[in-house]
Structures are given as structure tokens and as C-alpha cells.
Amino acid sequence: MSFEEKEPIIEKYATLSIPGKDPIKLPILKGTMGPECIDIRELGKQGYFTYDPGFTSTASTTSRLTFIDGKKGVLLYRGYPIDQLATKTDYLQVCYLLLKGELPNKEQFADFTFKVKHHTLVHNQMESLFQAFRRDSHPMAVLCGVAGALSAFYHETLDIYDPAHRENTAIRLIAKMPTLAAMSYKYSIGHPFIYPRNDLSYVANFLHMMFATPCEEYKVNPVIERALDRIFILHADHEQNASTSSVRLAGSTGANPYACIAAGIASLWGPAHGGANEACLRMLQEIGSLDKIPQYIARAKDKNDPFRLFGFGHRVYKTFDPRALVMRETCHEVLNELHITDNPALQVATELERIALSDSYFIERNLYPNVDFYSGIILNAIGIPTSMFTVIFALARTIGWISHWIEMQGSANLRLGRPRQIYMGKEVRNVKPIYRR
């Protein structure tokens, strides 16, 4: 993966005046688009830390992969708007785009698809690894384990400083995540694992591994295939979100890339992040009917109640998440195509969105539906079990994680990530032994 690394430009400086100290000049960095950044590295040299819990005002790196404008609801992968990618390309093309920086031509795409298809099998010994899990384990618990276990294989191509090895690792992860995801599901329902089929498309193969059985042929519904491909595209990458930052932090230590991806999977699982799709559908099903919505809205607004509306709000978007708009359209398309007219979860979601968007509490806090608000309804309609929703998110986000991992490995700015803190513990004190042995 070769890329030119452009540095941000410096057009002006900020001056920080601290009583009793000389003013400190700080460069203001400007990227291609987005907010200007104050380069605070000089502060460290002058003995100061900056304090920013949750990194709400911190740029941890430069990147060329994805751009988000939270105010305007813009999301670009390598400069292309997400709604155009979702309707004019497919997930494997988006994988190529995120990895290489450009959409593939016919030959490039054929070569890339061939490579991915010929890495879909996992090492047969992985099968015995699944046996170590209880059958009722959450599929995300299984995926965290088995994806991390990939780091125990492929030692011959793990020179992280070799671009060819990095590319090979990316191909393997793109190819094997659907296999591992489907195996996690099959294991949880006590069905035999289904081998990948290279004659099927990427998404059709995943559906085949999820729902086929040795007893009969499984026919992929093209509407479901298309909808799932679009869901994969919408989840492929999203700048420096929590799970991607976990991958980057692990990657900054020089750790095995498969282990770094496992760090991303573990981080994604939380309901504030990738686990929100599962939590959101369960919330919509718990609300169950339109007349119960007001009490849940009241709970979401009650500071003494930890309940939040899953699928609502976002650290970056302060307007509609552009993915939620595409997801809402896809949701209606899929339910119509499958002749599902009275989906209670969709009815509750539609009414909940309408009420929340007219409620001052949500308006004042810029809380809008995010990518997770409608995705669960679609996944549920196409037969994906709720416990598999975050696994689907992890499968789709793998390309984002490994693209960020590759981008950082090739960067001249690669440094071990090591934040500091404000220490609030005890002052130094001497041990007074309580007893002598």
C-alpha cells in the first residue's frame, strides 16, 4: 500500500500565555477539510499536559481515509460521499477503495476479488477453538476470542514493516471475518459449520455460511444480499471512533495486526458504540407499542435514570447521521420487498423518531438517529438474530480497522500511543509496616 503522506499546513500560530511563563507559540494545523487543529506538542516539552477526557477535542492522528463533518452530516470514504458509495458500488469495491485510496478498475477488482475469495477458509484447527465456548456464549464473546486467535497463525507473513505482508493480512482479514462470524452463529445454534463457496459473491457467501445446512440447498434472496451489502458499506469505516482508536493504540506498540483487530472487536461491543444496534432493537421491542413511547422518552430525559435512547445521539454528528438516512430508506425498501407491512419495531422507531425530533430536550442537545437506529430492524427482517447484530458491525468495520492499521504502520509519524493523566491520588508517604514477619 503506497501512499504519499501529506503533512497539514501551518498558516498561523496561537499564543498561549500562562502567568509567570513566557508566551508559548503553538502552530495551527490545517488539513484538506475540517476544523483547524492546535498543535500542542510544545506544551509537553514545557512540562504541561492538556486535559480532554473522552478526547472530545483531540485529533489523535492525521488520516486520509474518512472525513466526517458532524454539523453538516457529511461522511466521505477517500473523498466519496457515503450515499453515493452505498448506491453505486458494493462492499468489496469499498474495501479496495479504503485500502488503496481509489476505486478499482475492472482488472484490479477481479484480482482483488480472486485474492479475497481464495482466503475465505480458516485453519481447520480453528474449529476446535470454538468447542471451548459454551453453546450459549454471546457470538461477540466468541468472535473476540477466535479473531484474536488468528494471531496464532500466519507467522510467515507477519513482518508488519513489509507492505506486502500488510496487504496480505488485510486480504486475509476481509476474507476470514465472514467465515468466523458465520461460525460464531452456527456454533451458538448447534448447527454444523458451513464452508465458504467461491462461486458466490462476498455477501451471498456470508448468507450461505449463515443459513445453509448440509441438508438442503440455500437460495440467497438478491434483495437481502443487496441490503446486507449496503449495511456493510455503511459500517465500513468512521474516522477515529472508539474501536478504531483501540486498533490504532494497540497497533502503535507494534502488536500483531490480528491481535489489534481483536482489540477493535472488543471495544466495538459496548452498547455506547457498536453494541447499540442490538440494544436499540431490544429497546424498540421492549417499548413494543406507540402508547408506551412517552414513558421511555421521559426515562431518556431523566438524569437519575441511566436509560438512554439507543440508536440516538452521536459524539460527532449534531444532525442526522448520513448513514441513518440511507439505512431508513433501505429499511422501508427491504420491508416492502419482503411484504412485511406491520413491523411493530419499525412503527415504534418511526414514531419515536418523530416525537424525539420535535422534543426540545433532543433538539437542544442535537440528538438525532444514528447508524444503529434502523439497522437492527433491517437485520431482524432479513433473519439475522439480534445477538449477531454487533458481529455484523465488526465484520463490516474490519476493513476500516485494518486500513487504519496499515495507514499508521506506513506513517513517518508513528509513535507509541501513551496518554498521560492528572494524578489525584495520595501524596508520597512512607510504609509503616503493620506487622513484622
How far is the C-alpha of 60 from the C-alpha of 78, rounded, in Å?
19
> Among residues 175, 228, 371, 402, which is the contact residue for ligand SDX, using CB under 6 A?
371
Helix (H) or strand (E) holding 9: strand 9-16
314 is catalytic: yes
Residue 69 phi, psi (nearest 5): -110, 105
> Among residues 278, 353, 372, 407, which is the contact residue for ligand SDX, using CB under 6 A?
372
> Among residues 309, 335, 345, 396, which is the contact residue for ligand SDX, using CB under 6 A?
309
The nearest distance, CB 136 to ligand SDX, in angstroms, is 25
The nearest distance, CB 268 to ligand SDX, in angstroms, is 8
Comparison of 139 and 400: residue with beta carbon closer to ligand SDX: 400
Report if residue 369 touches ligand SDX, rule: CB under 6 A.
no
Q: Which of 244, 225, 183, 277 is nearest to 400 (CA)?
A: 244
Report if residue 310 touches ligand SDX, rule: CB under 6 A.
yes
The nearest distance, CB 397 to ligand SDX, in angstroms, is 7
Instruction: Give all strands (DSSP E) within 232-333, no chain letters.
Output: none
Contact region with ligand SDX (CB under 6 A), list: 13-21, 57-65, 117-125, 369-377: 369-377
> Among residues 176, 208, 248, 314, which is the contact residue for ligand SDX, using CB under 6 A?
314
Comparison of 308 and 332: residue with beta carbon closer to ligand SDX: 308
How far is the C-alpha of 58 from the C-alpha of 28, rounded, in Å?
13
Q: Which of 293, 332, 317 is nearest to 369 (CA)?
A: 317
Report if residue 370 touches ligand SDX, rule: CB under 6 A.
yes
Size of the site for ligand SDX (CB under 6 A): 21
- Alpha helices per DSSP H over 288-321: 293-301
How far is the C-alpha of 108 from the C-alpha of 431, rounded, in Å?
67
Distances (CA, A) of 271 to 228, 268, 361, 386: 21, 8, 22, 13
Contacts of 367 (CB under 8 A, 6+ apart): 309, 312, 313, 356, 361
Report if residue 238 touches ligand SDX, rule: CB under 6 A.
yes
Binding mask 256-275 for ligand SDX (x = CB under 6 A): ----------------xxx-
The nearest distance, CB 89 to ligand SDX, in angstroms, is 18
Contacts of 153 (CB under 8 A, 6+ apart): 123
3-state secondary structure of 87: helix
Distances (CA, A) of 265 to 185, 311, 405: 16, 19, 14
Comparison of 210 and 371: residue with beta carbon closer to ligand SDX: 371
Report if residue 90 touches ligand SDX, rule: CB under 6 A.
no
Contact region with ligand SDX (CB under 6 A), list: 106-114, 179-187, 208-216, 307-315: 307-315
Instruction: Give all strands (DSSP E) within 242-305, no chain letters.
Output: none
Q: Count CA atoms closer than 13 A to 411's CA, side-chain side.
A: 20
Report if residue 282 touches ligand SDX, rule: CB under 6 A.
no
- Which of the following is catalytic: 208, 238, 314, 404? 314
Amino acid at 122: V
> Among residues 308, 344, 350, 411, which is the contact residue for ligand SDX, using CB under 6 A?
308
Name the site residues for ligand SDX (rule: CB under 6 A): 238, 241, 272-274, 276, 300, 308-316, 365, 367, 370-372
- Catalytic site residues? 314, 372
